[in-house]
Structure 1
Amino acid sequence: MLTTSFATRDLSSCDQFDSWRDWYRTVFEMAADATVSGGFEAANSNWIIGGLTVSEVASPPVAVARSRPFVRRNPVDHWVMTLSSQSASEVAVRDRRFRVPAGVPFFLSLGEEMSIRREVGESRMQILLSRDAFAGSEPLLDASVGIPLHGPRGALLADFLRMVKASLPALSVEEASRLKDAVQAMLEACLAPSDHPLGMAEKPMAATLMQRVRKAVARHLYSPSLGTAKLCREAATSRSQLYRLLEDQGGVAQYIQRRRLSESFAILCDTSRDFSIGRIAEMLCFADASGFSRAFRREFGITPKEVRLAALGGLPPSPPSRDDFGAGQFRDCLRSL
């Protein structure tokens, strides 16, 4: 089990909020909900155990978001279960806005556009779940995104989260190794639908298919043969199902191109990979460098050359993560998941 933490209390008051925002900047866009001229004393502690991170946060009022362009530049897609102790949360996700009372857990996916606003400074707990480690629960977790868990099962899950956090410091190595299975079992027990199973199956089925498509695209991102036919074979679906699934993404070709552009953005920000822009375009199956550059600028509002120059100057738009867990940014806490 790895542990890491970050706190602003020892920093000067004028630097506290900027440092807190920098800790999270590759995972969230962040804005203080009130003036920070008097300082922003906050702390984050994390326990990282094979496939999940338990996170405890205490901070003044703050608003966080993952806009669509930000998600593309910072591709983290973990699920997050949040439990606030005192403050209600104003949440926007999947074209819905709703208020979650304190003490009610709710799920979001970092792979989706979303925002959260809290008006009261308070402490909160979160469990971050990697898609690979919790792939067997993906339909239930994706179907639960954006739905506050009111009622007895939500209360049970909230109590379980508190218990997990309280027990972490005393867990033996053997007990810690079993925590992932215990969390998964509790989530499935609390999230499984109790009625209308057929009516509720549509979203989980679509989520499962989307996961197969996402993995197939990742496997063949550098292959010129990646297209509709290959995706249908790899994801075991029909053309009509695939077209419906990716309709909101602009279609199959547009979805693949956006994934390739996101990959190119990461390559350009990594100064250890000194490929030319033309070579990157070729690797990711663009017809030529000029066409790649035009598509890149349409997607991100900046040219590949500008991203490369910013990275070489030490100011990449999406900085590479560090290897040590004692420093860096909050995203480092997710790298082992």
Structure 2
Amino acid sequence: MEKERNSIELQGYSTLDVESRHQFEAISQVVKPFCDLKKPCSANNGFHAKYSAFDLDGIDFVNWESDPSHSERTNELIRKSDLDYWAIWFVQDGCRFDEFSDFSVKTKTGDLMLVPYAQQWRSRWEGGSLVSVGLNRDKFSWMASSLDEAILSIINGPLTGLLRTFISTLVNEAHKTTEDQKQVLSRSFSNLLAASFDPTADNLHNASTTLNAGRLTMAREFIRKNLARPELNVDFICKSLGMSRRTLYNVFEEHGGVAKCIKTARLQACYKALSDETDQGLVSTIAYQHGFTSMSLFSRQFKDQFGFSPKEVHECITADHIRPKITSPTLLDHLCKSTSCLDRGI
């Protein structure tokens, strides 16, 4: 894919570009300034590892994937390093065992832990993917006390889910992020961190735009994954995500409401299934699979949405009609739009 014009600079590395017997040594040299990588017994058969990294206006994101390994950050490496950082380690998939000077901790899929780069550690990684978010002490000196209090602890609070969503989205959408958006996203992430580690009224207020965008993204993703459930409604979403009805109504207010978003998501999923030539399911089966319980209501709503009936989908496609563009705004879209409106005083 061609790099988007003015997009942020992405750095990356993969051992897939190296002959298998040299893969472990190659990645060891890449990470050597940061940690000593220990060779596992299976490394002679090849060692899969890759990373992508980018800077978000002073916040460093590294998305790491690899086979199982052992690593160590020694005092000698710390003395040679100029990294005066905290880091949030987010285990997206896998399991990690870390030993610090007088403390050991196990992190698994979904866990976030705050660690200092100025402290030695030994680690056993069982393989998978991990995101490291580096927080420069100079940039985050204003919340140093809150971060220092949380060092070497697994982050667990009411905003943890939003932190996961934000970090995952930034990593997954990094290739779409432009230089013009960096400051907006950096400020939004900083506000979310402050609200997560020190949830004062001021911090929560400053993070309100970020929180609403994150909640909207979480709710939309939950809706997408639960379209088949007839009980998918406001109460079900609130109970599952731990949101109040008022909060859920507020985040969907400018998007037509919760019920409209559920209906639109179901209709778009049905359209996608009906237009898939490899899917030979009956119209009624597809409708029921996506939560519709009335065929007459489904047909009417489908035609209102797309301009033709469910049974006419294949006919319209073969007649070279323009297909509806089905896209879902991401967290970055919501944040950049909301912040742009605020900056213009809308």
With normalisation by structure 1, the TM-score equals 0.54
Q: 1:8 aligns with which of 7, 15, 28?
A: 15
Structure index of larger Rg: 2
Q: Structure 1: how far apart are the matches of 2:142 and 2:41? A: 41
SS across alignment from 2:159: helix
Hey, what does 1:175 align to over in structure 2?
181
Q: Structure 2: how far apart are the matches of 1:70 and 1:166? A: 30
Hey, what does 1:118 align to over in structure 2?
125
Hey, what does 1:217 align to over in structure 2?
none
C-alpha offsets along residues 90-136 of structure 1, whole Å, 9 cap, x if unaligned?
Answer: 122351111122111111111111232212x2122221121222221
Q: Using the TM superposition, give the Cα deviation of residue 61 of structure 1 relative to its aligned residue in structure 2, in angstroms.
A: 0.7
Q: Using the TM superposition, give the Cα deviation of residue 86 of structure 1 relative to its aligned residue in structure 2, in angstroms.
A: 2.2
Q: Structure 1: how far apart are the matches of 2:191 and 2:20? A: 43
C-alpha offsets along residues 150-173 of structure 1, whole Å, 9 cap, x if unaligned?
Answer: 353322211221122223222232
Q: Structure 2: how far apart are the matches of 1:13 and 1:167? A: 30
Q: 2:56 aligns with which of 49, 55, 59?
A: 49
Q: Using the TM superposition, give the Cα deviation of residue 33 of structure 1 relative to its aligned residue in structure 2, in angstroms.
A: 4.1
Gaps of 5+ in 2: 1-7, 201-346
| Letter aligned with residue 66 of structure 1 | R
Q: Do 1:104 and 1:155's aligned partners in 2 also have CA atoms closer than 8 Å?
A: no
Hey, what does 1:91 align to over in structure 2?
98
| Letter aligned with residue 100 of structure 1 | T
| Aligned 1:226-305 pairs, distance under 5 A | none
Q: Do 2:10 and 2:175's aligned partners in 1 also have CA atoms closer than 8 Å?
A: no
Number of residue pairs the alignment of both structures matches? 193
Structure number with higher helix proportion:
2
Q: Say if 1:41 and 1:52 are closer, same or farther in 2 by CA, change over 3 A.
A: same
The alignment status of 1:152 with 2:149, answered yes or no, reads no
Q: Say if 1:78 and 1:33 are closer, same or farther in 2 by CA, change over 3 A.
A: farther
Q: Using the TM superposition, give the Cα deviation of residue 185 of structure 1 relative to its aligned residue in structure 2, in angstroms.
A: 0.8
Q: 1:135 aligns with which of 141, 157, 160?
A: 141
SS across alignment from 1:165: helix
Q: Structure 2: how far apart are the matches of 1:181 and 1:52? A: 10
Q: Do 2:91 and 2:107's aligned partners in 1 also have CA atoms closer than 8 Å?
A: no
Query: 4+ residue stretches of structure 1 with deviation over 6 A?
Result: none
Q: Structure 2: how far apart are the matches of 1:75 and 1:114? A: 17
C-alpha offsets along residues 159-205 of structure 1, whole Å, 9 cap, x if unaligned?
Answer: 221122223222232211222211211111111278xxxxxxxxxxx
Q: Structure 1: how far apart are the matches of 2:60 and 2:37? A: 21
Larger RCO (alpha carbons 8 Å, 6+ apart): 1
| Letter aligned with residue 61 of structure 1 | P
| Letter aligned with residue 179 of structure 1 | L
RMSD value over aligned CA atoms?
1.9
C-alpha offsets along residues 231-265 of structure 1, whole Å, 9 cap, x if unaligned?
Answer: xxxxxxxxxxxxxxxxxxxxxxxxxxxxxxxxxxx
| Letter aligned with residue 144 of structure 1 | A
| Letter aligned with residue 66 of structure 2 | S
SS across alignment from 2:10: strand
Q: Using the TM superposition, give the Cα deviation of residue 32 of structure 1 relative to its aligned residue in structure 2, in angstroms.
A: 3.4
Q: Structure 2: how far apart are the matches of 1:93 and 1:179? A: 32
